[in-house]
Structure 1
Amino acid sequence: MDSKEFTAALGQLRQVRDDIKAVRKELQRLEADRDKRIVALGAYGKAKADRIAPAAGLAVVDVVTLVPHLGPRQQAAPPSVPAQPEPTGDDVQAAAAAPAPGPAGALAPDLRRPEPRPAAADNDTDEQLHDAAGEHVPEGEAVADGAAPALEEPSGQHGQEQQPAPAPVAVPAVEQGRELPSIPAGESGDAWCVPTPNLASKRPNFTQQPRQMAFLDTTTGVLVHRDQTARLDLGTASVSEILTAVYATVPNSVERIYITAGDPWHRDADRYPFLRDSVAAWLNAPVPGWSVESSRGKDRLAGHLVHPRNPVGRWQRGDQHTEIRSVGEWFDPEGADPATVRDAFVLLWKQLRHHWPDVTLMGSPSQTGRDLWSRTIPAKAGSRWAEGYPVMSEEIRGLLHATAGQGRTELILPPRVPEKLPRLVEYDRTFAYAKHTWASGVGAPRRITAAAFAAMSEKEQTNALFAPSHWQIRVTVPDGWNHVGILPAPAAGDRAWYYPAEPGQTFTTWAGGAEVNLALRNPITPWRIEILDGLLWESGTPLRDWSTHLKEAWASLQALAANHGDQRQRTAAHLASRAVRSILLYGIGGFAQRPRITTRSVPVGHEHEIPAGAQIIGSDGEMITWQRSAGFSRDPYAHPEWAAGVWSGARAALLSTKMREDNVSVGALHLPPESIVGFRTDAIYTTHDAPWPYHGRPGDYLKKGHLPGPFTGPRTEEELLSLQTLGRAHLVEEQEAGR
């Protein structure tokens, strides 16, 4: 193509652009005309949304959005009267069916009855039969596309016709610790569902540059760089002493120093009330010849990360840049020497290279996970999402940040559990989050208000509750419920949650589709759920290839750790498999995109330099450390809707999931109610020794600890962790004695 042809082609391209604009303008005109006609038809006294919708080529809910009075009418509350007569049986039944106080909600359907639900993307895979509530469906029960699975009957109801459990007559409200945000009514709230303009996750067109690493044990002074090992004199292991000793031994091209043992940032922990203060003082101590790193390149972060256990320090000296990081970001080295840790990173890189030929290990598992995921985004022109996955509006990201918790942490106390425990057994789900990455919500969310949900057919409601979604709901714990809570309620404190379980309790919350689904069709009795508002996404597989590759790398390293003839390589392979787990775990957390936190320090006496709105988080008498939230950045890889979906699925599976191969239901709801002592993210602590199958696959429950009793049950998290340590050690002794 010469210059003349290029100029002519540009003119043709401009003509296509103008044609597209004209077609879009005409489409907008036709849509406006259609909407005007719908509104006019809605004025007819006998008009019905389900007759107008097919004529307009729209869903019923879209018609109701335009003509709200065509939706179901809410029954007005009866006026109060001074005195009430003795209630009759009919009165009690009517009271049981009445909604709880508060804004009008739409009652969710009984999901225990078989109803059509969306067909999956690939009917030949085990993952395809993994439903939104985290339960596997036996192959024989997936009779046809769109057929719902046969569900386990509530206990005590076998052979009888299933009836929805009535809501209790008395509906005491839960005292909520904090109020969760809501989507504004009307057009202002609908605007939240529009993705951020000109911001999407796209496949990168560059290759990450590798950074040389060194591995240092600050307790012994052993430093490993490539195949070289040296022993350094680190003095008191200050930042200045470490950098001086390391760069007297290795070339300046080394840009990452991983601390494998010693935690030098805790060396003066006794002087400070909190570990964070000790870390901040260590990072901010003067380093002659070096300054805190400033940004250089779009893949670089600047400044220090003040974390109580895994901090990151960044410095520069002219054109030389370096980081000091904790290897604990990737895995617990479990006493491994620096050479073994180096071998673990080498094995990790080799395994990932099978799936990503251009893999580069970045500073943290979160950064590495995001970079690897970005290289699975469709790139073929014309393929779905080749132009990138849209990023939600800042309002939706903020809503998900405030209303989508992560792991379930709960300690259950007497009288719900015995004062003395006969034993304590720990069951931990292996590589749990990897089990819940099969389907995620993609594209712009669709808002489903209470009126819109009520206007849906029962089939449409069921499909919505099986799809990727996030719901604002009013929940009533069913009468006679005697097990652990299912749905989270906001507690006092930032991002704190608890799980109401008292019969008749009512509370308002937000929850992911997986948990709402489980509450409606759990193996005991359905909960009463009223839909107040919600976000519904198209079901897609943006995480599938990424998680599949990581699971395969993890399985290969697990096999190597079990079968290698050299003990050091077995240990290295085990650590590398833990690093793969961290890549997926923290990669998912990275999608959540917390608000940016800026952390800085100023000398005492310069308090006027601390910006307004900042929070002072530490002071050592010489330096004052402050932090301030900077809100959400325009991060093209921010997808809190994906993280929220994975977390919701994992919390649901902690309560009930079915192992398809074994036809066995596992989870807390399949244990005696009084046996549940607590939860920690993916682990259940119970007094019941359950014979659950374990195949070593993601999502399987591993018996990780066993402590025989009797002993007094834990009353604090610290006591639970102490018993956890004892139980794990005792189980190892039992297993070794049984060999």
Structure 2
Amino acid sequence: MDAQTYNTALADLRTVRDQIKKARAALVKQEADRDKRIVQLASHEKATAQRIAPAAGLSVADVVALVPALAPDSLAANAPQPPPPRAPQAAVESAQPLPKHTAAAPVPTASDHSAPPPVPAEVTALEQSAAPEAPRELPSIPADSTGDAWFAHASGLASTRPNFTQQARSTVFLDTATGVLVHRNQTHHLDLANRSAADLLTAVFHTVPEGVERIYITAGDPWHRDTGRYPYLRDAVAAWLNAPTPGWRTDTGRGRDRMAGHFVHARNPVGRYQRETGEQHVEIRSVGEWFDVDGDDPATVRDAFVLLWQALRRHWSDAVVMGSPSQTGRDLWTRTIPQRGQYSDGFPVLSEELRGLLHATAGQGRNELITPPRLPDQLPQLVEYDRTFAYAKHTWKSPVGTPRRITARTFAAWSEKEQMRALYGCGHWQVRVTVPDTWNHIGLLPAPAPGDRAWHYPAGPGTTFTTWAGGPEIHTALTNPIQPWKIEILDGILWDDGKPLDDWAKKLKETWTNLSAQAHFQGDAQQARAAHLASRAVRSVLLYGIGAFAQRPRMVTGTTPRTLERDVPPDAEIIGFDDELITWQKPTGFARDPNAHPEWAAAIWSGARAALLTQRHRDDNTYAGALHTPPGTVVAFRTDALYLTQPHDWPHHHQPGDYLLRGHLTGPVTAPTTEEELLTLRDAGRGALTAEREA
């Protein structure tokens, strides 16, 4: 084969690659539609997996995996019974002061680094045939001294109080649907032509010649203008960001702000540009990072940011609203690091190994949709409860100090009191979990599911699985108001209790309270709306500030001309392409980030997930949460929201963590089977509740 033939064949191969990507996108949609139809068919009283399987082109096992209730009687009869409870070792039965309606549960431990009990061969074969994708396996701490070496801090890396003043950036607010631009107290009308990045930059800098460093898009989503040309939304966004911008190039970062390159996100991307000549830098961002805009004009959005800045200044004299809530949150937190006392020299960062373990084993919010046949096809109603400013309730205690490894043997050797103190403390535990044989409610603990960072919540009676979970969730599983679960400690990480986030969170909560009050009592409708948006922005500062502590492994995004495809890094994943450019991304591991504290994010997320299940209201002497609802009435969880088939009289005192009634849709309501259907019903329920209150 000569060089010309080789190059021609490469071009043909790229064409086939593009066609395959589009075909796969179409196939994914068709498979989702097929699965939805199978679930619908399963609601028929005489439905059988043997009848549905050939119609769907699947095996009986595949159909049963989608709808377990369709398992043939012969398989169900041969299914193994859950093993009897193991005797607790070394006096590790837990007993602790509990609410009157709860009971203590045994907390047996396993021998150090022991393997799960053997599974009968026929069960293994059945599981393999019924599950097209095996759950991912969570990592463990190495058994030898290698694992013990993880329990240290990264050398020379700690969060310290900044010794510089953050600089504000000149900002404009632009509605790309109408062309309305607000700069300080002036309003302009721009001709944005085709709404490309180049058109926006040209129009804005022609109107504001003295220079702008940040352009917030309030409406119009210009990066979605060519979605019909691409199989994925992300591809359209990448193409918009990377289209030619004469006179500009992709920003490479500067000074203390090392943010560089475009950030490809399906809904809230960030475009970073730099003059080809000169030092002028500008970002194009979406205000969707901060709050949801519901038809608000750029002037109202501008007022919201002004109110946010003024409110933050009451607590931080040097507060600056940065480009994103996460940047703002972490910057404000560093300015609460104590100047005296134990941590005046900073909060040390964990070893990279422990950070990696937490990244892999500590999920974020609970997102779960419960579908038929676990629920009826027609729901009597759909009620939405949202935990107000939820994460702010779980920042009062966080892990600090050098972590300690707590092996199964160590835990078993402790007294009952020491075990309970550890489980109440700041810890992250590897556990073997067994669901009670008579359990008939929702799952309590997250387990790894197929897919990158995917989690599910097993609830089947007798189910056993191994996972990692935080102390609040372990405690909830042991003391829940229905029936204690069996928990075996396999390994664990334990820290001292501290308050590194308490001052920061209290100031943000006070800021949120003040802005919420302004929104309620403000007589001017526009200023009331601006105050409401500002209060939502404070929520985002705390929410995404906590997420920023988690410090995901860094992902670098880049572009390469199609003519230079051989220059794409060999370990990169191609995430988009057009006729001219290939967009790719590649992981680069953990950066030496002095503010990386995934242990704080993990503890807060665990507490928030546990509070979705049960939360005590001391002043009202009552409880709220999913476990305080009848079995079969929970429809979905979405981070800090709970969807039910009946309302509950739970207290709401406008305090962080309180359950707020957000939506109420009277039935009958067709049970949602996809996230899109749930969100459609959510919006309808919120609208119905608003109309009811205004009537």
Match of 2:565 in 1: 607
2:206 maps to: 248
- The secondary structure found in structure 2 opposite 1:630 is strand
CA distance in 1, matches of 2:212, 2:173: 11
**Equivalent position of 2:258 in the other structure:** 300
- Residues 313 and 324 in structure 1, CA contact (< 8 A), matched pair in contact too: yes
Partners in 1 of 2:344 and 2:452 — Cα distance?
A: 37
Letter in 2 for 1:97: P
Distance 2:282 2:210 in 1: 9
Match for residue 405 of structure 1? Answer: 363
> Does the residue aligned with 1:423 lie in a helix, a strand or coil?
strand
1:151 to 99, 102, 109: 99
CA distance in 1, matches of 2:118, 2:582: 54
Cα shift readout 1:404-437 (whole Å, capped 9, x = no counterpart): 0001111112332222111111111011000000
SS at match of 1:192: coil
- Offset, 1:655: 0.2
Secondary structure, counterpart of 2:473 in structure 1: helix
| Residues 636-661 of structure 1: per-residue CA shift (max 9 Å, x gap) | 00000000000000000000001111
Aligned partner of 1:333 in structure 2 is 293
Q: What is residue 593 of structure 2 aligned with on the other side?
A: 635
Shift of 1:165: 11
CA distance in structure 2 between the aligned counterparts of 1:640 and 1:238, rounded to whole angstroms: 38
Q: 1:648-727 maps to which residues of 2 (within 5 A)?
A: 648-727=606-685
TM alignment of 1:206-217, pairs within 5 A: 206-217=164-175
Q: CA deviation at 1:299?
A: 2.1
Match of 1:120?
Answer: none
Matched, 1:271 2:219: no
**2:520 aligns to what?**
562
Letter in 2 for 1:204: P
Please point out which of 502, 509, 529 is paired with 1:544: 502
* Deviation at residue 97 of structure 1 after TM alignment: 3.3
SS state of the match for residue 391, structure 1?
Answer: strand
The 5 A counterparts of 1:408-487 are 408-487=366-445
Q: CA deviation at 1:712?
A: 2.2
In structure 2, the partner of 1:145 is none
- Kept in 1, the 8 Å contact 2:434–2:487? The answer is yes
Instruction: Give the Cα–Cα distance (whole angstroms) in 2 for the partners of residues 589 and 287 of structure 1.
Output: 33
The one-letter code of the counterpart of 1:734 is E
User: Which of 586, 598, 621 pairs up with 2:544?
Assistant: 586
For the 8 Å contact 1:105–1:531, the answer to whether it is kept is no
1: CA distance, partners of 2:89 / 2:536? 45
User: Which moves more between the two structures, 174-183 or 290-299?
Assistant: 174-183
Please tell me the residue identity of whatever aligns with 2:86: A
Question: Are residue 355 (structure 1) and residue 315 (structure 2) matched?
Answer: yes
CA offset digits 1:584-608 (Å, max 9, x no partner): 0000000000010100111112111
Distance 2:606 2:264 in 1: 29
1:604-648 superposed Cα distances (whole Å, 9 cap, x missing partner)? 121111112100000112111000001000000000000000000
Aligned-pair distance for 1:548? 0.3
Shift of 1:723: 1.1
Task: State the shift of 1:523 in Å.
Answer: 0.8
- Deviation string 1:388-416 (CA, Å, 9 cap, x unpaired) is 11101111111001000001111112332
User: Partner residue of 1:520?
Assistant: 478
* Corresponding residue of 1:223: 181
> Residues of 1 paired with 2:311 and 2:89: CA distance?
51
Amino acid at match of 1:350: Q
Q: Is the 8 A contact 1:110 1:521 kept in 2?
A: no
Q: Which amino acid aligns with 2:308?
A: L
3-state SS of 1:258 partner: strand
Q: Which of 456, 462, 479 is the aligned partner of 1:504?
A: 462
Matches within 5 A, 1:112-261: 113-114=96-97, 150-154=98-102, 177-261=135-219
Instruction: Quote the offset at 1:384 in angstroms.
Output: 1.0
> What letter is aligned with 1:212?
S
- Structure 1 170/684 Cα, relative in aligned 2: closer, same or farther at 3 Å? farther
2:267 equivalent to 1:283: no
Conserved 8 A contact 1:105-1:530: no
Q: Which has the larger radius of gyration?
A: 1
| Distance across 2 between alignment mates of 1:165 and 1:674 | 28
Deviation at 1:108, TM superposition (A): 5.7
Considering only aligned residues, what root-mean-square deviation do their CA atoms show, in Å?
2.1
In 1, distance between residues paired with 2:89 and 2:465? Answer: 13
- 5+ long unaligned stretches in structure 1: 1-91, 115-149
Taking structure 1 as reference, are residues 509 and 105 closer, same or farther at Cα in structure 2, changes over 3 Å only?
farther
Matched, 1:346 2:294: no
The equivalent position to 2:334 in structure 1, one of 347, 371, 374, is 374
- Name the CA shift for 1:622/1:152 in 2 (closer, same or farther; >3 Å): farther
Q: CA deviation at 1:276?
A: 0.7
CA–CA distance in 2 between the matches of 1:693 and 1:717? 28
The two structures have a TM-score, normalised by structure 1, of: 0.78
Q: Which amino acid aligns with 1:242?
A: L
Structure 2 spans left out of the alignment, 5+ residues:
1-80, 110-116
Q: Is the 8 A contact 2:391 2:604 kept in 1?
A: yes
What is the alpha-carbon distance in structure 2 between the residues aligned to residue 499 and residue 411 of structure 1?
11
- For residues 549 and 328 of structure 1, the distance between their equivalents in structure 2, rounded to whole angstroms, comes to 23
Question: Cα gap change, 1:423/1:165 in structure 2, threshold over 3 Å: closer, same or farther?
Answer: farther
CA distance in 2, matches of 1:199, 1:571: 42
User: Is this contact kept in 2: 1:106–1:450, CA < 8 A?
Assistant: no
Q: What count of residue pairs does the alignment treat as equivalent?
A: 596
Structure 1 residues 158-182: Cα deviation after superposition (integer angstroms, max 9, x where no partner)? xxxx786999x99989986110000
Q: Say if 2:382 and 2:669, in contact at 8 Å, map to a contact too.
A: no
CA contact (8 A) 2:106 2:486 kept: no
SS at structure 2 position matched to 1:193: coil
Q: Is the 8 A contact 2:576 2:582 kept in 1?
A: yes
Give yes or no for the alignment of 1:395 onto 2:353.
Answer: yes
Q: TM-score, normalised by structure 2?
A: 0.83
Q: Shift of the alpha carbon at 1:253? A: 3.3
Which whole-Å deviations, capped at 9, do the CAs of 1:483-528 have from their partners, x for residues lacking one? 1010011000011011111111100000011100110111111111
- Say whether the 8 Å CA contact 1:488–1:500 is kept in structure 2: yes
1:575 maps to which residue? 533
How far apart are the structure 2 equivalents of 1:619 and 1:648? 39
Alpha-carbon shift at residue 310 of structure 1 (Å): 0.6
Matches within 5 A, 1:50-61: none
* Kept after mapping to 2: 8 A contact 1:201/1:637: yes
One-letter code aligned to 1:152: K
Q: 2:85 aligns with which of 86, 97, 110?
A: 97
CA distance in 1, matches of 2:232, 2:295: 25
C-alpha separation in 2, matches of 1:560 and 1:105: 58
Distance in 1, Cα, partners of 2:581 & 2:679: 35
Matches within 5 A, 1:312-331: 312-317=270-275, 318-331=278-291
- Deviation digits for residues 190-241 of structure 1 (CA, Å, limit 9, x no counterpart): 1101110110000011111111100111111111111111101111111111
- The corresponding residue for 2:22 is none
Shift of 1:110: 2.7
Q: For 2:400, what is the secondary structure of its paired residue?
A: strand
Q: Which residue of 2 aligns with 1:122?
A: none
